[in-house]
Structure 1
Amino acid sequence: MVVPASPSCFQIMLLLYLTFLLHIASHHHIQPAAAASKVEYLPGFDGPLPFHLETGYVGLGDTNDDLQVFYYFIKSENDPVNDPLMLWLTGGPGCSSFSALAFQIGPIKFKIEEFNGSLPNLILRSQSWTKVSSIIFADLPFGTGFSYANNVTAHRSHWKLIHHTHQFIRKWLMNHPEFISNKFYMGADSYSGIPAPGIVQEISNGNDQGLQPWINLQGYILGNPVTTGKESNDKIPYAHGMGLISDELYLSLQRNCKGEYIDINSKNEVCLRDMQYFHECLLGTNEWYVLDSDCKLDFLMGDQGTHKRILTQKLEGPLSSYLTVPTTVTCQVVYCYFLGTQWANDDSVRKALHVREGIGKWKRCYTTDFDFDIATSFEFHVNLSAKGYRSLIFSGDHDLVVPFSSTQAWIRALNYSILDDWRPWLLNAQVAGYTRTYSNQMTFATVKGAGHTAAEYKPDEGLVMFSRWLSNVPL
């Protein structure tokens, strides 16, 4: 007869600890679900998804529901075993990376049609960047999209976003060891041009320190990126070059403001007068895409403010009346944001995405309560260039929010020699933009005729640019 051994103190403590965790989970308002789940059908899309979509949560905190990052993962539609892996953050700070998935570089998009109150429809995007790369779209910082934390405000700053994203990708790779050997890139756009280079630096430092799993870090991609925080100073010469202000006003601004148009001395009355005239000249100009009409979809905004900030607003709330499809490009972009909000707040969608119960209303962007503790990401670029990481920096050349000239200026300040000088890059034997490469493995490219952000307005050019760069061939 075999007498069972008495449980050790360790086993008893472990049992008590697990019992405690189950008790906490059962009484918390958000019910934990499976960490990762394959999504084969999406409400609004006709038939099974023709690509591999996985959604899930990665916990970063000490307890099961302390800090939970929601993500969408789409395997490369080409060769996921060998193709690169990219982690993407949308700007904001605090806009859900569903924005990039559905509005910019992912394999689905919303069908632009009259809204009658029913669930918006999804269709395929043929220019998805998942044609050549696996992509993780992460909802960070906390409070963004379907991610959550017990105390959201305590976890919202540039540095915390950097630390959390670094933790997230290592934990994600632990759960997906088949991707550890794949080449890894960090991708971001707009305001995430501030934290993204810092994330790359932290990943690199972690590799140097022997953190596991080791990440096969190759470089980073930034679109229309905020970098120095001084981008608005470049609006004036850009506006002059585009014919939006007169020679006389431009010369007066240069003379009276001496190149500083952001932090203006309150006693400098002549500069303030010129700046007032400058803003009057730009009234009715679409700063996000200067080729297009200004978007005045006030009926979608409720009491959110003026049309000047339309693209940064959260368009939400049910509408009883039918909405006519806008005719201009920018208004269609904004209209899709509205459709996305209606879609993401539908119960059937949340169930299909395996979103945990108890998560509040989905907002495309949550930008409040954020601590802006990094003024510029320039030094990150300096450090990463010294380490030899590849980088692709691209700009829509009709973006007045982050003018391409401001991006060129900080790249020039890196003071690296030029390997391949300024030249057009082509698509279908037509000029798609201009490019220049540097000795620090940095490539700069404009996307001709694109706004903020480039891939949203020029998807064909965006995919070709990304594909060529990934393949190490000249644009």
Structure 2
Amino acid sequence: MKNFSLYSQLLLVCVAAAALRANASHSHSYSQEARLKEFISSRRTSNSSSDAFRVRNIADRVAVSLSAESSASEYQSSMKAADKITALLGQPEGVDFNQYSGYVTVDEVNGRALFYYLTESPSGASEKPLVLWLNGGPGCSSLAFGAMQELGPFRITQDNKTLTRNMNAWNNVANVIFLDSPAGVGFSYSNTSSDYDLNGDERTADDTFVFLVNWLERFPEYKDRAFYISGESYAGHYVPELAATILFHNTYHNRTIISLKGILLPGYDPCSPYAAYGYLNNSAVQHAFHARTTKWGNCANLHWKDSPMSMIPTLRFLIESKLPVWLFSGDFDAVCPLAATRFTIQDLGLPITTAWRPWTAKEEVGGYVQQYAGGFTFLSVRGAGHMVPSSQPERVLIMLSSFLKGILPPYIEEQQ
């Protein structure tokens, strides 16, 4: 078996609130924050709960679908050309990078498929790593939030029809794939309506793993590329659970199926969800994205079947497996407060190796960082709310670059 190394950076808005569980809700949520608040409220009144993410069952739950799906490698390869985006509606002149989008089936029997959007790097794409971005909720679209409001290459203007370039996009330093997950979120769907009542942490991790295996057949040039996972909000569950799923599959199958190297999150224009709603409901936009014609929503009100009460056991498992974990939090985050996240981190009981210190971005304090035994790292981002890459894009890009290099963000002391 190849040595499996997981250099983990967990970039989420918070761990404390990420320990909560979803249930069905009847109100429509435009924002990720609103969805998470509904989720918190529903969990407080719920009588059912889970104690931990059940990694012991991963191999049994996915083995059948994995063997069935990965057998269609020729089909997946032929789909790559069909997925290439010619141009998005209203995109600016001079777009100098490749874009792809489409569906990957994760369950042939039920017709369950996940929608993705890949933005390759403008320069040196063949040498740069692949980063998967997941938004939370649970039930919020990574295309709407991550791609169109936070770290993607474009921002939607207020006319809901044109795009402007995001100069601090993450594809400046990596190839980035945005995934609408689970089925029922964004453009992702199932042909079996009962599937929507079975969503939960386990199903989400399983389906995302099968998606990645099949997507790598479609894009084989990424099979041996360094792969990182990042996300925010309820992705505080998605990211470490997917990392654990990959780790166990690599061990179970006695080979490196996915070359995972780390897990990483991240203001925000309060009007952005409405711009995304208008843009992504345009039939011409849906056609350009190779998406099914549908009435699209920023967040879906999903029934959530399972969710651990705390992610601390999963995080502890990853750290004890010598997998460095990075976690960041906006210091203006009202949904997942910085103080609550720090109290949660104390529950890990890890010795401090690098004391709380500032890190700088363009000669200003960008936030603070502290590192612990086992490589666990916690960072704050100054002036950032729940959706960190949107409000502080320059600072987050510096943090991402440091993460990919495997070093702490720099601290340049003011010259006297």
Give the structure-1-normalised TM-score.
0.66
Residues 414, 442 of structure 1: CA spacing in aligned structure 2 closer, same or farther, 3 A cutoff?
A: same
Alpha-carbon distance in 2 for matches of 1:453, 1:48: 28
Q: SS of the residue aligned with 1:59?
A: strand
Do the aligned residues in 2 keep the contact of 1:41 with 1:47 (CA within 8 Å)?
A: no
Residue in 2 aligned with 1:197? Answer: 240
Matched, 1:77 2:13: no
Matched, 1:37 2:83: yes
Alpha-carbon distance in 2 for matches of 1:48, 1:37: 20
- List per-residue Cα deviations over 1:276-316 (Å, max 9, x = no partner): xxxxxxxxxxxxx8xxxxxxxxxxxxxxxxxxxxxxxxxxx
For 2:334, give the aligned amino acid: L
Residue in 2 aligned with 1:51? Answer: 97
Residues 346, 211 of structure 1: CA spacing in aligned structure 2 closer, same or farther, 3 A cutoff?
A: farther
For 1:43, give the aligned amino acid: L
Residue in 1 aligned with 2:335? Answer: 401
- List per-residue Cα deviations over 1:173-223 (Å, max 9, x = no partner): 122111111111111101111232111101100011127762111121144
Which 5+ residue runs of structure 1 have no aligned equivalent? 1-32, 224-288, 290-329
Residue in 1 aligned with 2:207? Answer: 164
Q: SS of the residue aligned with 2:264?
A: strand
How far is 1:413 from its partner? 1.9
How far is 1:122 from its partner? 0.5
How far is 1:49 from its partner? 3.0
Matched, 1:148 2:189: yes
State which of 272, 280, 295 in structure 2 corresponds to 1:336.
272
For 2:137, give the aligned amino acid: G
Alpha-carbon distance in 1 for matches of 2:128, 2:352: 29
Do the aligned residues in 2 keep the contact of 1:39 with 1:353 (CA within 8 Å)?
A: yes
Alpha-carbon distance in 2 for matches of 1:108, 1:45: 8
- Percentage of identical aligned residues: 30
Residue in 1 aligned with 2:393? Answer: 459
Alpha-carbon distance in 2 for matches of 1:418, 1:79: 37
State which of 287, 300, 307 in structure 2 corresponds to 1:373.
307
Matched, 1:97 2:142: yes
How far is 1:406 from its partner? 1.7
Q: SS of the residue aligned with 1:440?
A: helix
- List per-residue Cα deviations over 1:337-356 (Å, max 9, x = no partner): 11111111111111111113
Residue in 2 aligned with 1:4? Answer: none
Do the aligned residues in 2 keep the contact of 1:86 with 1:186 (CA within 8 Å)?
A: yes
Residue in 1 aligned with 2:53? Answer: none
Matches within 5 A, 1:125-136: 125-136=166-177
Residue in 2 aligned with 1:123? Answer: 164
Residues 396, 131 of structure 1: CA spacing in aligned structure 2 closer, same or farther, 3 A cutoff?
A: same
Q: Higher relative contact order by CA 8 Å / sep ≥ 6: 1 or 2?
A: 2
Matched, 1:346 2:282: yes
Residue in 2 aligned with 1:180? Answer: 223
Do the aligned residues in 1 keep the contact of 2:79 with 2:218 (CA within 8 Å)?
A: no
- List per-residue Cα deviations over 1:359-380 (Å, max 9, x = no partner): x311010033222432221111
**Higher Cα radius of gyration:** 1
For 2:165, give the aligned amino acid: L
Aligned length in residues: 328
For 1:172, give the aligned amino acid: W
Alpha-carbon distance in 2 for matches of 1:94, 1:38: 26
Matches within 5 A, 1:155-304: 155-210=198-253, 214-223=257-266
Q: SS of the residue aligned with 2:168?
A: coil
Alpha-carbon distance in 1 for matches of 2:393, 2:362: 14
Alpha-carbon distance in 1 for matches of 2:400, 2:357: 17
Q: SS of the residue aligned with 1:159?
A: helix
Do the aligned residues in 2 keep the contact of 1:141 with 1:155 (CA within 8 Å)?
A: no
Give the structure-2-normalised TM-score.
0.75
Q: SS of the residue aligned with 2:83?
A: strand
Q: SS of the residue aligned with 1:408?
A: helix
Residue in 1 aligned with 2:407? Answer: 473
Alpha-carbon distance in 1 for matches of 2:318, 2:202: 17
Do the aligned residues in 2 keep the contact of 1:43 with 1:348 (CA within 8 Å)?
A: yes
Do the aligned residues in 2 keep the contact of 1:37 with 1:54 (CA within 8 Å)?
A: yes
State which of 346, 354, 357 in structure 2 corresponds to 1:423.
357
For 1:130, give the aligned amino acid: N
- List per-residue Cα deviations over 1:31-62 (Å, max 9, x = no partner): xx956511131112133632211001111112
Which 5+ residue runs of structure 2 have no aligned equivalent? 1-77, 410-416
Alpha-carbon distance in 2 for matches of 1:345, 1:416: 47
Q: SS of the residue aligned with 1:190?
A: coil
